[in-house]
Structure 1
């Protein structure tokens, strides 16, 4: 009842604001500091191709097949060069556990050497690697032993992370242990590998695995920055926090946030995501997400590890937003957050290229678009987002007088009631 009454109060106040809502909430913004980190994000399974046996290779056989993806496995030098040419400073990629340990205790020297070269190309280009140890994918032999329902998996992952950490501890890498742990567990349930009754024990093992990897990383390099990025879910972020991030809060060097969907009284389109449709963008929601986690973790810096815009096969979006407008609007609100004293240290766009979006090639997120189904050459073709992101990086953000294309929301439900009752403007 308390939650309902708080939401009701939020809606009552919002009703009085709706008619008088300003066309925009633009306020002059300062550039982000010189040490702010600009990056791009990607994952192994979604982009590498030639995938070995894994839980997701098996799932993909019941969906649109992953095939060769965009063949990052053999074109990584090209993609890393494209990122460097934009001025990118952080290149996030994932190491595929299934690729480097195809059988229990058997390590593939060729695939380890491949990741060595990926890291070498990133550092040679003057960028910092951001290494993800697990991006929803585990080896087929791990799936056969029950995945994260098994204590064996906790032991096996800890051995895997120890080997990878030792290999790249001197690279200056930033680290992500688990990508979006709450959605990782949801996907395992949705694909029939676990049940809701298994979830509490799976989260417990994931937390123990994160903590062990964190300790390994800091033993090897005390200065390393480690997180487990979270998928921001509006309306009740605290509920999802309790499942995982709260369990590991003492072993985080920064809070990694993935922000895609907003929610407000005048934008309830996030519900479309449940059916695979595109929700209308709500850029100011990134401000409220940052403000929420800035308050929750006042001693930790924040980093937007993923933020990106999908189109359906490059068709115009329902909200009419271009990739340029999406990037600039979100960066504007990050500048607003920094200006208001929120300790945000970096932003990664998802993703450098189009990729396999967990069952389909229809959603296109890439700064460079790639037709994985119809183009045998897998040509990387620049979208308008390339020039926009290049300019944003060079300028430290958008100009001081930038006017957001998407109007400020009326009664943000990102973190109700605060995000409604205390708006940014």
Structure 2
């Protein structure tokens, strides 16, 4: 189903108008650019590649369909959100949320170097307009891990001028979409490759070998002298170029059109040192996984904290979860208290507005998802009581979608998606999260 251009005011939009938040005349007008949303942001998140489907010009699509590959599944149609985004926005609005975080796909907008697709830009314009019509502040991620295949062929972010090419994409995209964007981030989890130094992306030697073989096969198949895919690249080579790309894209986006905050999101897991050298271990790991991104965040408009668990280290390195600890479907410890620790870390070290832009749990037991949401909410309340100005809680994810190398097995979504007909079925956790947002009415937890 595609989005309909007809506008029907939502129940929350009508209530907001009656309460004086939105002029009643605007309910029947075209969506206003950068419409302010009062109060705390309650939202959900998805990314382009993980939900849209058939992102055929991307590096990830190519790698998923290689033999050998490190991916358990190919993304295929994903959740067909490219065509069914109206249904997804309707669900978010029905939950009385006021924010929708989503990613735009560079490989759709610039499928060949220097050729920008008007049709793809129009598509994302329609998504943004759909957000505004439903009272959802659109928070746009410019790069959520995937890159155009042509960009990977030439070395991706391991080549210095990759930063300029990303900034060019950001400039052209902002020219087309900027007046409708509510907030934006350049990169999703910009430090994710540094985290790999402490937490290897693949848990076994066999997994690491599979990834190396996949990238080498891709290089040969593409006749590319320097094939580089973001999630599998060399952290030491990529990180300085990625920081340059963020800085240049930030300036390009801020140049407008549009007037909205631009930040970045960081993977900020709670780090616990263990043993007699606990403090030094913790400080060393934090320096490793954040590098110079803390300073980059200080020079942005806000920071998005993305937390899923804690990591424990001793003198020998990464430790397993404590014996008897509950594990999620992703294999890491169920530990919602980590959210409080990372929000405090961000507030203490970055001193910019803080949003919880991702947290969630992979599980098939929706009761544990509800418990995770409640525990996260308690952490938020404690942080706010301690004077930390947390400005939003965005749950990952709206949908059960494609979870990268793990394929479709882990389920993070508030909404189940039938893999055969794409039917969306909100889970009890969706109604639970929506009830919390409804009671808050845009206010703090």
- TM-score under structure 2 length normalisation: 0.73
Residue in 2 that maps onto 1:59 = 63
Equivalent residue for 1:212, pick from 241, 245, 248: 248
Moved more, 178-187 or 88-97: 178-187
Q: Is residue 2:368 matched to residue 1:295? A: no
Cα deviation, residue 173, structure 1: 1.7
Measured after TM superposition, the shift of residue 268 of structure 1 is 5.6
* CA pair 348-281 structure 1, distance change in 2 beyond 3 A: same
Q: Tell me the equivalent position of 1:260.
A: 308
Map 1:190-339; keep pairs closer than 5 Å: 192=215, 193=228, 198-220=234-256, 223-235=259-271, 236=282, 238-263=286-311, 269=321, 277-298=330-351, 300-311=352-363, 314=364, 316=365, 322-339=368-385
Q: Please state how far the C-alpha of 1:251 moved relative to its aligned partner.
A: 2.4
**Aligned residues of 1:262 and 1:270 also touching (Cα < 8 A):** no
1:52–1:102 CA contact under 8 A, matched in 2: no
State the 1:201 CA deviation. Answer: 3.4
Greater shift, 67-76 or 144-153, is seen at 144-153
Conserved 8 A contact 1:270-1:279 = no
Displacement of 1:84 in angstroms is: 0.7
Please say if residues 263 and 297 of structure 2, whose CA atoms lie closer than 8 Å, have aligned partners that are also in contact: no
Using the size of structure 1 for normalisation, the TM-score is 0.77
Q: Deviations over 1:143-200 (max 9, x none)?
A: 1101111123222111100011122221142011001122257569956447999433
Check 1:106–1:221 CA distance in 2 against 1; reply closer, same or farther (3 A cut). closer
Structure 2 unaligned spans of 5+: 1-36, 203-207, 216-227, 272-281, 314-318
Task: Work out whether 1:68 is the aligned partner of 2:114.
Answer: no
**1:41-77 Cα shifts (integer Å, max 9, x gaps):** 1100000002122211122122211110000011000
CA RMSD of aligned residues (A): 3.0
1:21-420 residue pairs with structure 2 within 5 A? 35-61=39-65, 62=69, 63=71, 64-183=73-192, 186=196, 192=215, 193=228, 198-220=234-256, 223-235=259-271, 236=282, 238-263=286-311, 269=321, 277-298=330-351, 300-311=352-363, 314=364, 316=365, 322-359=368-405, 360-372=407-419, 376-396=420-440
Change (3 A) 1:180 1:197: closer
- 2:150 partner SS: helix
* Number of positions where the alignment pairs a residue of Structure 1 with one of Structure 2: 356
Mark the CA change 1:137 to 1:184 in structure 2 (over 3 Å): closer, same or farther: farther
Structure-2 residue corresponding to 1:19:
none
Task: Structure 1 unaligned segments of length 5 or more: list them.
Answer: 1-32, 403-425
**SS across alignment from 1:133:** strand
